[in-house]
Amino acid sequence: MMLLYFLILPLLAAVLAPLLKPKAATHLTVSFFLLPFFAILSCLFYGCAEVHLMTFSAPIGELYLSADFISHAFGLTICIVSAMVGLFALPYMEHRFVEMELSVESEFRKYIFLYDLYAASMLWLVYSGNLILLYIFLEIALITAFLLIYFYGYGNRRWVGQLYLIWSLVAGVLTLAGFLIIGINNDTLALKYIETVGRYAWPFIFVGMVIELPVLGPHVWLPWAHAEAPTPLSALLSPLTVGLAGYVLLRIALIDYSFIVTYRSYIFGYALFSSIYAGFSVFKQTDFKRLLAYSTVSQMGYILAALCLGPFGLVGVVIQYMSHAFGKSILFSSAGGIIAVHHGLRDVRQMGGLHDSIPAISNAAVVGFLNLGGILTVGMLGEFFILRGVVETFGVSTGSLAILLAVIFMFILSVWYGFYTIRKVFYGKPKDTTRKEISRYLYVPLFLIGITSVLLVFPPLSTALIPGLKSVIWPLMGMGGIVP
């Protein structure tokens, strides 16, 4: 039951924070997400039991909170990113309200309610042990994100909010249809009792989550939503929410992997093409936030590809989610710092040499791109498991060499566009050599996220997390509980 009490705290933050002044509301939000973070850390080392909530008649079944290592890995990531972005958002949103000529104190109450509810819904989604409960929190996240874009976004924010809402509703309806088919066929929607997904439910869920992920084709909504959303939302929407589509696909795959096996070559090829195409598209972007949005499309290709690579790939899905969340939350927050300090600057062509004026934000951005490139951060472990999955799935032969090289090139491309962006934005001849005085809220939280991403590479965190993930995934993949 202790897990339940800690998970209630972020929901309480959504109720209590709007009653406080902006600084106090921010500190409450940070505290109420960090407490579950440390609780989940203790679960990694000492374990914790699932929590029964209530039971409904078929086909809903038991509502409960899952407490396995997959939920913990996602939950840990959501808590630390939500807490740190919430801290960063204090000066940023105050700047945004002034820019929009709104009352800072009254608007912050509305903003913090939506922000806390949005972040809390993602946390509850990954702990939901029942598909209908998962869907409810998915929809709450969708609606709160829409409202944040609609009220506080940039450009034609109302149109962009509606674009995001329509695409997400389509994804949600398709996914719900798949869940209902599962419930009818299994007489329950409780994950631990579902025995099969079936050939009719899988396509609905897969297409719905590919739209939400998204990869090339359904990605058309993402550059608009991520670029025009208020930056704290971009810092959660890109790294956390879209990746949760990977979480849903992972949970369904662990019940019934047959759909992935049947269409593996098509899905894997599509994922590789999407990742590489979007990676090259990064070089053509002139808006910094749109550049990062295309990077998200490329990184989501990693997750979809990893889904096809058996048990090692499924571990890679989890680790890649964490790596992308850490890296992209840092990078979108860095973009927000530039916007706040340099009076709305977003055009990459007008940047260059920004390290001289905002070195702390520049250094944080480097750590963000190290995560995306899998260099000295937890992303390194994710890439290892994806490569191991390629070898285990396709073997080592002349025929599989092209696949292995394509995956390696996909990884190299992230490093390439990462260092290209760093050089383009932060180095070169500075246009303004004046050192800017900036709030610590704009960079200290980014370094704390970065430190977390590095610590997860080393014991004791890595030696608790990786075997824990294997202990969940291996038995469900028919490997007899053997954890190599």
Tens of pLDDT, residues 5-15: 999 999 999 99
Above 70 in pLDDT, residue 26? yes
Q: How far is CA 110 from CA 101, 249, 330, 369, in A?
A: 15, 33, 24, 32
Q: How far is CA 323 from CA 401, 411, 463, in A?
A: 26, 13, 17
Please say whether the beta carbons of 271 and 218 come within 8 A. Answer: no
Please classify residue 477 by burial: count the beta carbons closer than 10 Å to its beta carbon, then call 0-12 exposed, 13-18 middle and 19+ buried.
middle
Residues in the chain: 484
Contacts of residue 169, Cβ cutoff 8 Å, sequence gap at least 6: 142
Rounded CA-CA distance 464/453 in Å is 15
Q: Work out the average pLDDT over 311-330.
A: 96
In this predicted structure, what is the pLDDT of residue 1? 74
CA geometry: angle 153, 158, 161, nearest 5 deg: 75
In this predicted structure, what is the pLDDT of residue 482? 39
Tens of pLDDT, residues 256-297: 999 999 999 999 999 999 999 999 999 999 999 999 999 999
Tens of pLDDT, residues 130-163: 999 999 999 999 999 999 999 999 989 999 999 9
Tens of pLDDT, residues 225-236: 999 999 999 999
- Give residue for tokens 């086909």: 59
Please say whether the beta carbons of 420 and 403 come within 8 A. Answer: no
Tens of pLDDT, residues 286-313: 999 999 999 999 999 999 999 999 999 9
Q: Work out the average pLDDT over 217-230.
A: 91
Tens of pLDDT, residues 401-451: 999 999 999 999 999 999 999 999 998 777 666 677 889 999 999 999 999
Please say whether the beta carbons of 213 and 303 come within 8 A. Answer: yes
Tens of pLDDT, residues 50-103: 999 999 998 999 999 999 999 999 999 999 999 999 999 999 999 999 999 999
Above 50 in pLDDT, residue 167? yes
Above 70 in pLDDT, residue 484? no
pTM: 0.95
